[in-house]
Copies of this chain bind each other. A is one copy, B any other.
Amino acid sequence: MTQLVERGLIARWRELLTTYNQIACALERDLQDNHGIGLSEFEVLDRLVESGQAKMRMHDLATDIYLSQSALSRTVARLERAGRVVRAMCADDRRAIFVSPTEPGRQLRDEARETHRAVLAQHIPADD
Contacts and interface: CB of A to CB of B under 8 A. Distances in A.
Copies assembled:
2
Interface stretch (A12-20, A28-36, A77-85, A95-103): A12-20
A69 to B, nearest CB: 13
Interface residues of A, number: 26
A128 to B, nearest CB: 6
Contact of A10 (B5, B17, B22, B120): B120
Contact of A16 (B5, B6, B16): B16
27 contacts: A1-B1, A1-B2, A2-B2, A2-B5, A2-B128, A5-B127, A6-B127, A9-B117, A9-B120, A9-B121, A9-B124, A10-B116, A10-B117, A10-B120, A12-B120, A12-B124, A13-B23, A13-B120, A13-B124, A16-B19, A16-B23, A17-B20, A17-B24, A17-B43, A17-B66, A18-B66, A21-B66
Interface of A: 1-2, 5-6, 9-10, 12-13, 16-24, 43, 66, 116-117, 120-121, 124, 127-128
